[in-house]
């Protein structure tokens, strides 16, 4: 094969992105869990033989993608490449070597060309129920949170490990969904392997070494070029969030230099007794995402660009929780980190950094019985994704009811009502919840839901920004705090397992984002827009 030219390298790079996007679409279209197929809570990527990520799918979440970027190296350590064969696939949900909690299964599949190992495909998706206490923060150690899979071979030369599948099904309240999701993960990687083989044959490639080196080096240089435009120095920021039973302090020192960025979370609160702790892999994932958004948003996400960032947190803190800490709801804490990064970098590049937003997903996990199905021991269990407002940006308002930084979509009400007895009486924007400013924070939502069967049901609450709402920036006001109440006059806790009566309706108020700039400077046109949309409050 002749040496690749500039145009050929770019075409092949774009083709790899296309391959992994098709890989992700297979997962999206075949997944059984609603949070995956309806909301896109997944990741997909292609890696070279050293386990370095070359391309990621556009579809997916930063927490999955950026932590999966490191997990492939753990698969290689557990299963030496010389022992891998065509048709193999490997699986884990190790929170410390995967994507941060047990509900995310990671599958990695070796790719071969003419009998030679040329790379790997890896993917992740969130499974609604993996046993244990359920998808909530109540556990006191990781073993209470569900079935734990070490690094295992799920497919051996094309033969699925039925014993492993049956063990997983036996530990889930949703065994059909459990099995279907595992097959979905396996299938999406298989499609990636086939498309990579076709791509390599089309371009006469015998390995990914040259194109991989080009991708990694080009991306790294692009990030370093962007960093050269940012004043060097160390910038600090602190954020207080609700925590489980006491407030949590997140502190960061962001050091920008010509060779990269170091983020140190020294001073952050110690790990918690309940499941809002974050393994360092997930901390790194969302911290790097915040850095990429602020510093080099147009550079592709891969081993080259991510390699410019170093993230540290003292062991035993909530951002570097040690085994066997409970970590089920690690998103509550970890998804705050881009806002922490923005707060620090606002001192250097204020024109690029928004105010604080809701940040963490407001996932409503419900469980309950089904009327007339006394022999159905599983009843229903579902996680409904909802979102608050994002922080206002330096040049425009924040986004309403938008999942930033996770990027997942809100679960359609029609899907939930078709799959469960739950009834939604209201799901609309929350007027006046966005913080005032020259640019207003995004608005949250008002959601009302009850069990249409008239039977008691359970809420596994995992919410934040109730005691400490998103703060504004540069003189902007804070967004409205979130909250949970019921039709019987009860105020529910933001975290933990709680029961509702069959005739009790739940009202969820998701937070609004913080405003940016002096509210007095908001233009008459924007004020009139607030009035005409009915969102002025």
Residue 297 in domain: no
Q: What is the pLDDT of residues 321-368, one digit of tens each?
A: 999 999 999 999 999 999 999 999 999 999 999 999 999 999 999 999
> CB-based contacts of 528: which residues, under 8 Å, 6+ apart?
none
- Residue 235 placed within a domain: no
Is the pLDDT at 46 greater than 80? The verdict is yes
Phi-psi region of 243 (alpha: psi -120 to 50; beta: other; left: phi over 0): left
The reply to whether 269 falls in a domain is no
Do 372 and 515 sit in the same domain of this protein? yes
Work out the percent of the chain whose per-residue pLDDT is above 90: 94
Domain C-terminal end among 219, 244, 265: 219
Q: How confident is the model at residue 194 (pLDDT cuts 50, 70, 90)?
A: very high
| Residue 381, domain member (yes or no) | yes
Tokens of 147: 């079935």
> Which residue among 219, 251, 275 closes a domain?
219
Confidence of residue 3 (pLDDT cuts 50, 70, 90): confident
Contact assessment for residue 120 and residue 55, using Cβ atoms and an 8 Å cutoff: no
- Domain boundaries, position 369: 354-537
Q: pLDDT, tens digit, for every residue of 490-516?
A: 999 999 999 999 999 999 999 999 999
205 assigned to some structural domain: yes
286-325 exposure pattern, b = at least 16 Cβ within 10 A, e = fewer: bbbbbbbbbbbeebbbbbbbbbbbebbbeeebbbbbeeeb
* Domain end residue (candidates: 169, 192, 219): 219
At 371 the pLDDT is 79
Whether the predicted pLDDT of 2 surpasses 70: no
Query: Mean pLDDT across the stretch 17-25?
Result: 97
pLDDT digits (tens, 9 = 90+) for 401-428: 999 999 999 999 999 999 999 999 999 9
Closest CA to 140 of 275, 334, 243, 318: 275
Return d(Cα 305, Cα 515) in angstroms, integer: 31
pLDDT at 154 over 80: yes
Tally the domains of the chain.
2
Pair of tokens at residue 532? 């005409």
The Cα–Cα gap between 465 and 362 comes to 10
Say what the pTM is.
0.96
Q: What angle do CA 79, 177, 425 make, to 5 degrees?
A: 135
* Residue 164 covered by a domain: yes
Q: Give 506's strand partners.
A: 449, 486
Predicted local confidence at residue 375, as pLDDT: 52
CA 252, CA 248: separation in Å to the nearest integer? 13
**H or E element that contains 202:** helix 175-202
Please give the helix or strand (H or E) that residue 448 lies within, else none.
strand 445-451
Rounded to 5, what percent of the chain is helix, strand, coil?
30, 25, 45
CA distance linking residue 222 with residue 85, whole number of Å:
36
- Is residue 491 assigned to a domain? yes
Distance of CA 417 to the CA centre of its chain: 25
Looking at the domain assignment, is residue 456 inside a domain? yes
Q: What is the number of helices (H) and of strands (E) in the chain?
A: 12, 19
pLDDT at 155: 98
pLDDT per position as a tens digit, 142-152? 999 999 999 99
Identify whether the C-beta of residue 4 lies closer than 8 Å to the C-beta of residue 210.
Answer: yes
pLDDT per residue over 375-385, tens digit each? 555 689 999 99
Structure tokens at 524: 């008459």
Picking from 38, 37, 95, the residue whose alpha carbon sits closest to that of residue 64 is 95
CA–CA distance, 193 with 120 (Å, rounded to integer):
8
Conformation bin of residue 301: beta by default, left when phi > 0, alpha when psi is -120 to 50: beta
Q: Kindly state the average pLDDT of the residues 264-290.
A: 98
pLDDT at 376: 52
**pLDDT of 528 above 80:** yes
Place of tokens 């469980």: 367
The yes-or-no verdict on residue 140 having pLDDT over 70 is yes
d(CA 61, CA 408): 7
Q: What band does 266 get if pLDDT is binned at 50, 70 and 90?
A: very high
- List CB contacts of 142: < 8 A, sequence separation 6 or more: 95, 102, 148, 323, 324, 325, 326, 327
3-state DSSP assignment of residue 508: strand
Per the DSSP assignment, residues forming a β-bridge with 458 are 367, 499
- The average confidence (pLDDT) of the chain is 96
pLDDT level of residue 537 (50, 70, 90 thresholds): confident
**Please, how many CA atoms are within 13 Å of residue 301, restricted to the half-sphere of its CB?**
29
HSE toward the beta carbon, residue 205, CA cutoff 13 A: 24
Model confidence at 374: pLDDT above 60: no
């Amino acid at each position: 094969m002749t040496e690749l030219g500039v145009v050929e390298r770019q075409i092949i790079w774009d083709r790899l992105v296309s391959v992994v996007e098709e890989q992700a679409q297979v997962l999206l279209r075949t997944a059984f869990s609603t949070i995956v197929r309806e909301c896109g809570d997944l990741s997909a990527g292609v890696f070279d033989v050293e386990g370095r990520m070359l391309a990621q799918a556009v579809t997916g979440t930063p927490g999955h993608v950026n932590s999966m970027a490191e997990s492939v190296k753990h698969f290689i350590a557990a299963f030496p490449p010389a022992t891998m064969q065509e048709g193999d696939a490997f699986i884990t949900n190790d929170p410390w070597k995967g994507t941060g909690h047990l509900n995310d299964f990671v599958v990695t599949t070796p790719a071969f060309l003419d009998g030679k190992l040329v790379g790997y495909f890896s993917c992740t998706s969130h499974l609604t129920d993996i046993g244990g206490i359920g998808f909530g923060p109540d556990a006191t150690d990781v073993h209470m949170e569900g079935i734990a899979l070490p690094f295992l071979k799920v497919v051996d030369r094309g033969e699925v490990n039925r014993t492993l599948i049956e063990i997983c099904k036996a530990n889930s309240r949703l065994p059909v969904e459990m099995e279907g999701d595992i097959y979905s993960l396996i299938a999406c990687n298989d499609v990636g392997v086939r498309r990579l083989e076709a791509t390599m044959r089309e371009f006469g490639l015998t390995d990914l070494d040259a194109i991989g080196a080009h991708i990694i080096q080009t991306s790294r240089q692009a990030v370093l070029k962007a960093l050269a435009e940012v004043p060097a120095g160390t910038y600090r920021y602190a954020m207080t969030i609700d925590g489980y039973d006491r407030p949590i302090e997140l502190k960061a020192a962001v050091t920008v230099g010509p060779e990269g960025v170091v983020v140190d979370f020294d001073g952050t609160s110690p790990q918690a007794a309940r499941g809002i702790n974050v393994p360092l892999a997930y901390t790194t994932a969302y911290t790097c995402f915040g850095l990429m958004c602020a510093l080099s948003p147009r550079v592709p996400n891969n081993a080259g660009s991510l390699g410019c960032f170093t993230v540290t947190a003292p062991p035993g803190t909530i951002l570097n929780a040690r085994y066997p800490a409970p970590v089920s709801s690690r998103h509550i804490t970890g998804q705050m980190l881009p806002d922490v990064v923005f707060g620090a970098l606002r001192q250097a590049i204020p024109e690029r950094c928004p105010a604080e937003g809701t940040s963490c997903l407001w996932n409503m996990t419900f469980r309950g019985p089904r009327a007339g199905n006394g022999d159905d021991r599983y009843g229903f269990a579902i996680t409904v994704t909802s979102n608050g407002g994002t922080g206002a940006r330096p040049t425009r308002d924040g986004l309403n009811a938008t999942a930033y930084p996770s990027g997942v979509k809100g679960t359609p009400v029609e899907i939930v009502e078709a799959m469960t007895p739950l009834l939604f009486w209201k799901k609309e924007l929350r007027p006046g919840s966005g913080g005032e400013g020259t640019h207003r924070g995004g608005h949250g939502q008002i959601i009302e839901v009850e069990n249409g069967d008239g039977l008691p049901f359970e809420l596994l609450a995992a919410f934040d920004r109730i005691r400490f709402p998103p703060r504004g920036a540069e003189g902007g006001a804070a967004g409205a705090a979130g909250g949970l109440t019921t039709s019987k006059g009860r105020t529910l806790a933001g975290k933990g397992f709680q029961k509702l009566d069959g005739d009790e309706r739940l009202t969820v108020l998701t937070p609004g984002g913080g405003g940016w700039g002096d509210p007095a400077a908001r233009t008459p046109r924007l004020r009139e827009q607030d009035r005409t949309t009915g969102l002025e409050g």
